[in-house]
Amino acid sequence: MAVEVVPEWMANLEDEDVAFIKKFLLASGSLKEIAVQYGVTYPTVRLRLDRLIQKIQINEETAGEPYIALIKRLAVNEKLDFDTAKILIQEYKKTKEGDAL
């Protein structure tokens, strides 16, 4: 893989997420080591990793739906509550279905 080619799932991550991935890899996947580096507890690092996994999964699941991917990323990043995100996605899908008819 060429250096200038960045996978889409990675291009959509924030800089701090990429930095976390780098630290995680350099620590051989040790969440305990990452907790020490960040000065936080193990559960905090685990939560961060779980959210990062969600972001990557969202990008994979919604590759053809950039609007839905955006709404889900906002919810995962706690910039939008999950109930509002669900409503926005449902309404978007209704509108899209209406356009297809």
Model confidence at 82, pLDDT cuts 50, 70, 90, reads confident
DSSP string across the chain: --TT---HHHHTS-HHHHHHHHHHHHTTT-HHHHHHHHTS-HHHHHHHHHHHHHHHHHHHHTTT-HHHHHHHHHHHTTSS-HHHHHHHHHHHHHHHHHHH-
Q: What is the pLDDT of residue 66?
A: 84
pLDDT digit string, tens, across residues 1-59: 455 677 777 877 889 999 999 999 999 999 999 999 999 999 999 999 998 998 888 87
pLDDT number for residue 3: 55
